[in-house]
Structure 1
Amino acid sequence: MAPATSDVLAGIPAAHLPGLVGGLVAVGLGFAFRGRLDVLSALLLCTAGVHLGLALGHASTAPVLSVLFVLDGLAYLGLLALRRGRWWRRAAAALLLATIVAYLVYVGSGREAPEPVGLADKLVEVVALGLVLVPRRRTGRWRAASFATLAVAFLAGGVMWIEDLAGAGHLHGVAAVCVANHHPGPGAVLRPVPCTVTPEQQAAADGLVAETRQGIARYQDVRVALAAGYRPSTPDGSGTAHYTDFRAPANPLDPSHPAALVYATTRHGPVLLGAMYQMPKQGVPGPDLGGALTPWHYHTNVCFSVPGLLVSGLSTPFGMCPPGSVRITTADQLHVWTAPNPNGPFGDLDEAWVRRLAGS
């Protein structure tokens, strides 16, 4: 799998960019006016700015949600203006917990997928909640507060990770019934496609399969692929491996030299399963060739190892990757299976079939 040629803000919805800016600006203004801030004040200022920024970003598309963001942001600012005491800690804990739970419900119901701004804001709120709950004296309450903070962190991370692993096809209004044998996987987002397939689209899809089969036939021998510039780019042990040529092709749909080749790892060596086409730049939709037959997709939670030029896995619920890796959003991709995949040439690769192939 090839990395995306994306910018730093890849993966952040446009409506959430004001939230990112708002959080940074709020903390900056806090330091500018007060001279110095304690950690808890900085965290509360940050989440207040994020929510006020999100209100601006959602004002035209979700006015009710925008009002709720405004109220939440003002509530945090109100807390900062009040004197801290026992009741203040209880109020702050209640507000933080309510905000975190509301986000989990919103994400868990499928109305929104985890994304960088939301994840970062929840991390800020979880840390702030921990500081609020920890009493000044380390008694039994200190242990209870520590346990409660960890529980909230695991709950928040678990819900967001489950939602992320469930797939994010709903983000673009893609109905699962429109795409046969193809479902969003972990962090995979399907591009919107029409539910109907015209005769012209059927012919184009059939033609792409035939051209791909002919174009990559010479790569049945993996040594030919290596000589042509392809290199393994996914971890071993998964049953399949992508061999990627990191040089961007002039034609992203060149059947004789696609962006990547996919092999099954068998006892007799790599067996060619098909090809993966990829657009040269992140955010550019792939061409609509066969409608619902050829759905393009991209991944939002891929960890890419910079030293080894390998996909090192998927990111954690809070967007973290292993040391030496960075989280990327890939460019649009389209797999074409030239081997007899039970789910068809464009469907999900049947893992049970791959395991049988590997053991034969």
Structure 2
Amino acid sequence: MFDIAPDHAIGLYAGLLTLPFALLALRLRSAARGVPGTVLGASVLMAIAGAIHLGLVWTHRGETITALLFVMNGASYVVLSQLYTWRWWRPASVALITATLTGYLGYIVLNFDTPDQVAIATKLLELTTLGLVLVPVRGETLRRRSRWSVLSVALPLMTMVTVSVVWIDDLARPDAQHAHAGAVLQATNDTASPEQVGAAQKLYDETVAAIAPYRDWHAAWAAGYRPGPQNTPSTHWMNQRYVDAGYVMDPRRPQGLVYANTKHGPVLIGAMFQMQHIGSA
């Protein structure tokens, strides 16, 4: 359920592989000496963001406009990551990051894309980069106060807007592949076959019988289940040992139990299975 969308995973790998090279580039460049740490940090993060976008080009080659935007955006990030001594580096970086964030939000609102783990992680990385770019450095006097003002207002506002759009879209338009802001769900047939109906009924019957002892929550506790937050009408009790073991649709070892929170205490209402990887079943 929690696998990364396959067509976006390559972007994550590209970003991770870029990190050591970005750090090495800073070490080898004499121009990096004396440059504030916030600027160098932003340079590294921009290189990683650029690599992520460029890494996504191949898996989106069938979407001409999207692939072209990835190329332009990724190349711009990589180039700017090495121009941190340029006079106009800050405004250019702010413009690029802001345009990237707003463009992505526009893509979501227009339903051209849906948020997944890689996209959300990249936006978080870009927001962090924006913060580092805006931090005033030692020796600045003319625009120091205005930059702190922008940092204290614009960055939280951009973060709030980004998070709000992602979650509102996720709730309004759940997707078979990117539902729940990143959780990858397996698509199913529109109509179940007789064999599937029979298998589902068998799983249901066996699960009901297997979890019957857990109607007493003390038995669930003794078996290793622990409750999550209980300020909602129902609570998921997870068994971390079963989660780590990777049992697949085992009625005797469901990864989670669901209890209704009532004035009489927890009341068992169901079980929950969790797979570590797509295709495990």
Q: What TM-score bracket applies, with the shorter chain setting the length?
A: 0.7 to 0.9
Provide structure 2 residue ranges, at least 5 long, that are not aligned to the other structure: none
* Match status 1:191 vs 2:192: no
Counting strand residues as a fraction of each chain, which structure ranks higher?
Answer: 1
Count of aligned residue pairs for this structure pair: 265
Instruction: Give the secondary-structure state (helix, strand or coil) at the position aligned to 1:247.
Output: helix
Once the two structures are TM-superposed, the CA of residue 266 in structure 1 deviates from its matched residue by 1.0
Question: CA separation in 2, counterparts of 1:247 and 1:83?
Answer: 52
Question: CA separation in 2, counterparts of 1:253 and 1:225?
Answer: 18
Summarize the Cα distance change of 1:47–1:150 in structure 2 as closer, same or farther, 3 Å threshold: same
| 8 Å CA contact retained: 1:97, 1:129 | no
Instruction: Give the secondary-structure state (helix, strand or coil) at the position aligned to 1:190.
Output: coil
Letter in 2 for 1:261: L
Summarize the Cα distance change of 1:207–1:122 in structure 2 as closer, same or farther, 3 Å threshold: same
1:315-360, CA deviations, whole angstroms, 9 ceiling, x for partnerless residues? Answer: xxxxxxxxxxxxxxxxxxxxxxxxxxxxxxxxxxxxxxxxxxxxxx
| 8 Å CA contact retained: 2:42, 2:133 | no
Cross-structure match for 1:96: 97
Cross-structure match for 2:107: 106
Cross-structure match for 1:230: 224
> What's the RMSD between the two structures over aligned residues?
3.5
1:169 is aligned, of 175, 183, 186, to 175
1:14-58, CA deviations, whole angstroms, 9 ceiling, x for partnerless residues? Answer: 221213322552243123223534322441343134324431342
Of all paired residues, the percent bearing the same amino acid is 28
TM-score by length of 2: 0.75
Instruction: Give the secondary-structure state (helix, strand or coil) at the position aligned to 1:189.
Output: coil
Cross-structure match for 2:126: 122
Summarize the Cα distance change of 1:283–1:253 in structure 2 as closer, same or farther, 3 Å threshold: closer
1:265-295, CA deviations, whole angstroms, 9 ceiling, x for partnerless residues? Answer: 111122110111233xx224342xxxxxxxx
Cross-structure match for 1:145: 150
Cross-structure match for 1:75: 76
Letter in 2 for 1:59: W
Instruction: Give the secondary-structure state (helix, strand or coil) at the position aligned to 2:123.
Output: helix
* Match status 1:275 vs 2:279: no
| 8 Å CA contact retained: 2:46, 2:78 | no
Instruction: Give the secondary-structure state (helix, strand or coil) at the position aligned to 1:22.
Output: helix
Provide structure 1 residue ranges, at least 5 long, that are not aligned to the other structure: 173-183, 288-360
2:135 is aligned, of 114, 131, 136, to 131
| 8 Å CA contact retained: 2:177, 2:187 | no
Question: CA separation in 2, counterparts of 1:75 and 1:272?
Answer: 54
Instruction: Give the secondary-structure state (helix, strand or coil) at the position aligned to 2:269.
Output: strand
| 8 Å CA contact retained: 2:249, 2:273 | yes
Counting helix residues as a fraction of each chain, which structure ranks higher?
Answer: 2
Instruction: Give the secondary-structure state (helix, strand or coil) at the position aligned to 1:200.
Output: helix
| 8 Å CA contact retained: 1:24, 1:46 | no
Instruction: Give the secondary-structure state (helix, strand or coil) at the position aligned to 1:265.
Output: strand
Summarize the Cα distance change of 1:230–1:239 in structure 2 as closer, same or farther, 3 Å threshold: farther
Flag as ranges the 4+ runs of structure 1 deviating above 6 A.
none
Question: CA separation in 2, counterparts of 1:168 and 1:188?
Answer: 10
Once the two structures are TM-superposed, the CA of residue 234 in structure 1 deviates from its matched residue by 0.8
Summarize the Cα distance change of 1:261–1:44 in structure 2 as closer, same or farther, 3 Å threshold: same
Once the two structures are TM-superposed, the CA of residue 166 in structure 1 deviates from its matched residue by 4.9
| 8 Å CA contact retained: 2:108, 2:114 | yes
Instruction: Give the secondary-structure state (helix, strand or coil) at the position aligned to 1:254.
Output: coil
Letter in 2 for 1:141: S
Question: CA separation in 2, counterparts of 1:119 and 1:91?
Answer: 18
Cross-structure match for 1:32: 28
Summarize the Cα distance change of 1:165–1:186 in structure 2 as closer, same or farther, 3 Å threshold: farther
Summarize the Cα distance change of 1:126–1:170 in structure 2 as closer, same or farther, 3 Å threshold: farther
Question: CA separation in 1, counterparts of 2:267 and 2:84?
Answer: 67
Cross-structure match for 1:298: none
